[in-house]
Structure 1
Amino acid sequence: MDPLRHSSVLAGFVAPSEIIDQLAQHGIALFHGIGDAASLIDLAQTLGVVLPHPDSDVNGVTLISERRESAGALGAGFTRASLSPHTDRADKTVPPPVLVNLCLVQAGSGGESTFVDGVAVHRFLVDHAPEALRALIHPKAVAYGKTHVYTGPVFEPIDGGRRLRLRIWPRSAGRYSREAEEALDELQCVIAAQTVAVRLEAGQGYVIDNTRWLHGRLAYAGERVMLRIAVDPHRGVLRKAGILDTRQGVSWR
């Protein structure tokens, strides 16, 4: 497994005007040159319609910083603890397709953003762990959430089955079938091997296809402030959302 195949994408920061092309090609874009919430909202609105979030303000902007010393797996984002690579709002019927995140203040130590390309994870499972993949694409592989419960595959077929939407939450936040539970160890090893960490400084951020890329954060010390906006993209912004299904005969039924 070679997470460095995305090194050029994850090593370079583009201007806001270049984000759409980068996002369409790679499902992710790192950007620079945005310094406040108003400018971030403007960027989000060029990409699509801003979506409300339970933690956001009236403009759809969520401020992510330390609010408590400790929390459960789903509240770790508001602590200084590490946040495992995940899909935002994986319990929703349709998770937000695009996320826009901006760094306002970077921690003195730690706090690197982490990324995992679901395409690479899926390809490895197809080639090296088809039984684990079969368990993870079963229609009853996982249940997420308490009020808005999603029950279905971890790799969910979309677009008529031609593509897959990746849904991953912290392990302790899901309820899994016996077969999917056994496959999680393999899945988490692949995710760990594919994780790339990027340190964002103030004025830098990223836009990701939330159906394809997992995102997280390393633990940190000091103050760290991020802004997040969820977006339903305009037609054509995500030309190839999610993951191309290349299971080559691996049945999920």
Structure 2
Amino acid sequence: MTDVTLSPDGDIITLDHGGATARFHAIWLRDNAWDPATRAPGNGQRLIALRDIDVGVHISAARLAGGQLQLTFAPEAREIAYDPDWLMAHRYDRDEVRAPGALPDGAEAWDAGLMENVPTGDFSAVRDHAEARRAWLAQIARYGFAKLTGGPVRDGALFDVVDLFGHVRPTNYGAKFEVRTEVNPTNLAYTGLGLQAHTDNPYRDPVPTVQVLYCLESTAEGGENMVVDGFAAARRLRTENPEWFDVLSGHCARFEYAGEAGVRLQSRRPMIELDPDGILRAVRFNNRSAAAITDVPFDVLPSYYAAYRRLGEIIDDPAMEVSFRLEPGESFLVDNTRVLHARKGYSGSGTRWFQGCYADMDGVRSTLAALETPRQEAAE
């Protein structure tokens, strides 16, 4: 059953459809019209600006015809058809109360229990088959990371991984960087030391939102890769101590990198970043790149450091960790705004050669959405 009710002033319609009820304002409906005069048929981009909609826009008539909702807008006297399913899928009339620290839509928090089923795809299948690629990208969107096995063992093979969803984002490290032991390295990542779980490049603005690490050689003992869900860590901190969560999300930290000539990267962002509606947006945690904290009030600083210390303890907790060893031709990708990665120490004997590069999550999400559209259309 579908039914529509128009308010006396024409400012609001109430739509009953598919067992749900939602209200919509006239200005929102006019702005989101899909008629050819409002949206380009080829790409869906708007052909009008908000200034082109009368400030006094209202609905003079509403009716259902042929499964469509027909609305007449005044004062322009234009009738526009709407798909009730589309409207209900995009309704904003909800009674949701989201506590700070809510997960983004589609994300699932995880801990060490995920080690029993590490998100993984096969390189050849993901490259050659749309459904395998969709499933692999869906795991990244859900968990913030995934492995890829069975790839080629050659210099630059990590670019083949990025080609599956997007484009490489070059940095001062180049289009790619080498991760193996060096003498007098410019970055601790290039030593055999174990590293605390961290997000990469927090000193950049904007930060690269994807990191790919690709294994080319691995005969050294140790060096297992580890990942930790930063969103799960932040939510655990909030459960334990909401005040500490608030202090880390309410004040900015500072990060910097000046490890090579001609480079001095700096940023100012909170360690736990929230959207205005409280949804987790990003976690930045990297002790090696942390600069002096100068944006926390004097009286709040002790609480800030207590919260900072506790977040680090949660991140270090083995119960939060998923670890795995990569063999040549294997790689993994992380959402660098969410998942912290680490490496256990490895011995000086044998070899260990990884290559890394950066890309962005908009490519992951775009490719995934494009692959999911045919599935949705087939289901309809």
Deviations 1:80-112 (A, max 9, x none): 111111111101111111111111111421101
Q: Does 1:125 align with 2:243?
A: no
Q: Is the 1:24–1:237 contact (alpha carbons within 8 Å) kept by the matching residues of 2?
A: no
Give TM-score, length-normalised by structure 2.
Answer: 0.56
Partner amino acid, structure 2, of 1:143: R
- Cα distance in 1 between the residues matched to 2:339 and 2:168: 19
> Which of 1 and 2 has higher RCO (CA within 8 Å, sep 6+)?
1
Deviations 1:106-150 (A, max 9, x none): 14211011111012102201211212211211233x110153321
- Taking a change above 3 Å as real, the CA distance of residues 2 and 211 of structure 1, as seen in their structure-2 partners, is closer
- Cα distance in 1 between the residues matched to 2:307 and 2:211: 28
Give TM-score, length-normalised by structure 1.
Answer: 0.82
SS in 1 for 2:164: helix
SS in 2 for 1:48: coil
- Cα distance in 2 between the residues matched to 1:235 and 1:27: 11
Gaps of 5+ in 2: 1-108, 127-131, 258-263, 370-380
Q: Which runs of 4+ in 1 moved over 4 A?
A: 158-161, 237-240
- Cα distance in 1 between the residues matched to 2:209 and 2:354: 19
The residue that corresponds to 1:21 in the other structure is: 138
- Cα distance in 1 between the residues matched to 2:270 and 2:159: 33
**Alpha-carbon offset, residue 69 of structure 1:** 5.7
The residue that corresponds to 1:249 in the other structure is: none
Partner amino acid, structure 2, of 1:52: P
Q: Does 1:92 align with 2:204?
A: yes
SS in 2 for 1:125: helix
Partner amino acid, structure 1, of 2:355: L
Q: Does 1:228 align with 2:356?
A: yes
Q: 1:179-190 counterparts in 2 under 5 A? A: 179-190=303-314
**Alpha-carbon offset, residue 155 of structure 1:** 0.9
Alpha-carbon RMSD across the aligned residues, in angstroms, is 2.5
The residue that corresponds to 1:109 in the other structure is: 221
Q: Is the 2:208–2:358 contact (alpha carbons within 8 Å) kept by the matching residues of 1?
A: yes
The residue that corresponds to 1:6 in the other structure is: 114
Q: Is the 1:20–1:237 contact (alpha carbons within 8 Å) kept by the matching residues of 2?
A: no
The residue that corresponds to 1:33 in the other structure is: 150
The residue that corresponds to 1:217 in the other structure is: 343
Name the % identity: 25
- Taking a change above 3 Å as real, the CA distance of residues 9 and 26 of structure 1, as seen in their structure-2 partners, is farther
Deviations 1:53-102 (A, max 9, x none): 2223xxx121111112677xxx2101111111111110111111111111
- Cα distance in 1 between the residues matched to 2:212 and 2:275: 22
- Cα distance in 1 between the residues matched to 2:246 and 2:328: 42
- Cα distance in 1 between the residues matched to 2:138 and 2:334: 12
From the CA coordinates, give the structure whose radius of gyration is larger. Answer: 2
Q: Is the 1:138–1:152 contact (alpha carbons within 8 Å) kept by the matching residues of 2?
A: no
Q: Is the 1:156–1:165 contact (alpha carbons within 8 Å) kept by the matching residues of 2?
A: yes
**Alpha-carbon offset, residue 180 of structure 1:** 2.4
Count of residue correspondences: 232
The residue that corresponds to 2:160 in the other structure is: 42
SS in 2 for 1:55: coil
